[in-house]
Amino acid sequence: MENLRLLFEAPLLPVQLLLDGVLIGAIFALAALGMSLVWGVMGIINVAQGELVMLGGYAAYFLYRAGVHPLFGVPLAALLLYLLGWALYRTLIFRVVDQDLFISILATFGLSILLQQLANAFFGADVRTAESGFGTLVLLGGALTISRIKLVAFAAAVVTGTALVLFLKTSRMGQAIRATSQNARAARVMGVDTDRVYARTFAINAAICGASGALVAMTWVVHPYLGLPYTIRSFMIVIIAGLGAVHAVLASAVALGIAENFAGFIFGAEYQAAFVFALLVGILVARRFWLARQRRYLA
C-alpha cells in the first residue's frame, strides 16, 4: 500500500494517471465500438475481437518496418483488416450467424486460438513495437508528461467513432445495417441483402479493430497473446454502455482506462491483467443482481 500513500502525497500523480487513463481508454473504445456493432447487428459475440486488434498491431508494425510512417500505418492497417474481416465472414462467420449462441461463441473462440497461434507461428513470440517518433509532451515544468502518440490515438478514436455514427446515420449501407439490426427478416423482405450487410458489418468491425491495434502497436507493444484482454475489455465496455450508443461506449471506455491505470499503479503492473479479468466478473455479477432487482433478468 506504499503506492496508495504516494498517490495522496504527490498531488499531480493522480492527475497524470487520470490523463493517461482517459487517453488509453479511447483506444479501448475502438475495439468496443466494433464489438457493439457486430453484437447488435449480427447477434454474435466475437471472442476473436482481441485477435483482430493484435493482427492490426502486426500490420502496423510491418508497415513501419517497410518505411511507412506510423500515422499512415493506422488507415492502412484498418484497410488490411477490412479485407481480412471480409474474408473471415465469407469463409467462417456466415455459417454461424443464424445458429444458436453456443455455436457462434465456440466458433469465434476457436477462431481466436487459430489467429493467435498463426501469429505466433509466423511472427514469433517476440514483443515488437512500431516507434511513432512523436516523443512526449512535457507540461508544468516536467510534472506532467503525456506521450504525444496517446493524444493522436485519442483523436483517432474520436474521429473513427464520429465517422462510424455518420456512416450508420446517413449512408445507404448504414441504413441497411441499422434496418438489419432492428429486424433482419423484415429487412430481407424489404429487399436488403442481409448477407452483404453482415459481411460489411464484420469487415467494418475488423477495420476498426485494425486501427485500434495499430495505435496499440505505437503506444505500447504487440505480441501474439495480447488479444484476450482486449476482447474482455470490449465486452465489459459494451455491457456497461449498452448496444448502439457511441458516446456511452466512449465514456465507459474512458472510465475503464482510468480504473485500470489506477489499479495498475496501486496493485503493481503485474496484477493489471488480473484486475481486468476480476473486474469483468465483478461487473457481470453486479449487473445480474441489478437486473434481478428490477425483475428484468428473465428477459
Nearest 5 degrees, angle CA 175-CA 179-CA 181?
120
> Could you say which of 235, 237, 262, 265 contacts another protein (CB under 8 A)?
235
CA dist., res. 158 & res. 151, Å (int): 11
Q: Which C-beta is closer to another protein: that of 64 or that of 235?
A: 235
CA dist., res. 141 & res. 203, Å (int): 45
Q: Is 123 in the site for another protein (CB under 8 A)?
A: no
Shortest Å, Cβ 268 to another protein: 8
> Could you say which of 4, 83, 114, 245 contacts another protein (CB under 8 A)?
114
Q: Is 207 in the site for another protein (CB under 8 A)?
A: no
Q: Which of these ranges, 55-63, 169-177, 249-257, 280-288, lies near another protein under the rule CB under 8 A? A: 280-288
Residues 6+ apart with CB under 8 A from 112: 47, 48, 50, 51, 227, 228, 231
Q: Quick check: 249 and 33 in contact, CB under 8 A?
A: yes
Residue whose C-alpha is closest to residue 111's, from 161, 173, 164, 46: 46
What's the Cα-to-Cα distance from 174 to each of 37, 42, 65, 109, rounded to whole Å? 11, 14, 35, 28
Nearest 5 degrees, angle CA 234-CA 249-CA 70?
70
Q: Is the dihedral of CA 160, 161, 163, 164 positive or negative?
A: positive
Shortest Å, Cβ 284 to another protein: 5
Q: Which C-beta is closer to another protein: that of 167 or that of 277?
A: 277
CB atoms within 10 A of CB 150: 23
Shortest Å, Cβ 118 to another protein: 6
Identify the bridge partners of residue 145 per DSSP, sorted by sequence position: 138
Q: Which residue has the cell 493517461?
A: 20
Q: Which of these ranges, 3-11, 23-31, 124-132, 272-280, lies near another protein under the rule CB under 8 A? A: 272-280
Q: Which C-beta is closer to another protein: that of 179 or that of 237?
A: 237
Q: Quick check: 143 and 213 in contact, CB under 8 A?
A: no
Q: Which of these ranges, 18-26, 200-208, 232-240, 251-259, lies near another protein under the rule CB under 8 A? A: 232-240
Q: Is 271 in the site for another protein (CB under 8 A)?
A: yes
Residues 6+ apart with CB under 8 A from 15: 144
Q: Which of these ranges, 101-109, 163-171, 176-184, 245-253, lies near another protein under the rule CB under 8 A? A: 101-109
CA dist., res. 105 & res. 246, Å (int): 24
> Could you say which of 110, 124, 133, 242 contacts another protein (CB under 8 A)?
110
Name residues contacting another protein, limited to 11-70 (CB under 8 A).
Answer: 45, 47
Q: Which C-beta is closer to another protein: that of 29 or that of 232?
A: 232
Q: Is 96 in the site for another protein (CB under 8 A)?
A: yes
Q: Is 92 in the site for another protein (CB under 8 A)?
A: yes
> Could you say which of 4, 12, 106, 159 contacts another protein (CB under 8 A)?
106
Binding site for another protein (CB under 8 A): 45, 47, 92, 95-96, 99, 101-103, 105-107, 109-118, 120-121, 228, 232, 235, 239, 270-271, 273-274, 276-278, 280-281, 284-285, 287-289, 292, 297-298
